[in-house]
Amino acid sequence: MDTLTLMADPIKVYRTAAFAPLAQDIKRFGALLTAEAARRYDAALLVDARRRKVCAERDTALGPVLYLLHQGRRLAGLAGAFTPTDDGLMNAVCLRDVGQRLEAQGISLDLTARKRSIVYRRGDEAILVLAQHDGYAFAALRRLYKALIDTEAYSEMQLYTYLTPEALRELEQVLYAPARGSRPLDRQRLRLFALPRPDGGVHSPVTLP
């Protein structure tokens, strides 16, 4: 890092390599709450990262979120340009939330087996973890269940969301006790969990299964 002086105010200018840890951190799950980044990185580095197009900030319903721009994608080993949607960013925040909680319990994560998901092992069982901030479409879950659980590709699917308790109960009803004519899904093999929404950009403590 170099320091320049302009009109008596020191300006920190970071070498490109200094942004690599931040870029890799954002890349890992696809997004990073700005409030979390502020706790993990020097404030001046974050300012310079946005100025140098390493990352950008977008306001979302979960709070301001950082995502990679071209320079950051290159530092993280990603090719080409990509502009995420707001939903995509919030889903990435939710996945990061789950991933960090699992790691805090000593669980080793595989982030390469399936895009935008987590896989971990429990003995001989492969567990697939999905995260969507606003819940799931029943038809999509039925297709996933048929493709991944009925075929024994995974022993269990765990679905995490920031739904309210009331909305979670509605989704549980559709999944586990659907209207006549629809097959109920096994609640032991497709498990649904609600996480507390980030409060002011900070994840609340919660115990995972």
| Closest listed residue to residue 19, CA positions, set 58, 80, 73, 64 | 73
Question: How far apart are the C-alpha atoms of 62 and 40, rounded to whole Å?
Answer: 19
Residue with token string 């990185």: 41
* 8 burial via Cβ count (<10 Å: 0-12, 13-18, 19+): exposed
* pLDDT tens digits, one per residue of 150-208: 999 999 999 999 998 889 999 999 999 988 778 999 999 999 999 999 865 545 555 55
Tokens of 157: 């699917």
pTM of structure: 0.87
Question: How far apart are the C-alpha atoms of 120 and 133, rounded to whole Å?
Answer: 21
In CATH terms, the fold of domain 94-194 is: Trna Endonuclease; Chain: A, domain 1 (3.40.1350)
Q: What is the pLDDT of residue 25?
A: 98
In CATH terms, the fold of domain 2-84 is: Arc Repressor Mutant, subunit A (1.10.10)
Confidence of residue 209 (pLDDT cuts 50, 70, 90): low
Residue 131's identity, in one-letter code, is A
- Map out the domains of the chain as residue ranges: 2-84, 94-194
Residue 8 has pLDDT above 80, yes or no: no
* pLDDT tens digits, one per residue of 72-91: 999 999 998 899 999 999 99
- Bridge partners for 58 per DSSP: 65
| Mean model confidence pLDDT for the chain | 90
* pLDDT tens digits, one per residue of 22-33: 999 999 999 999
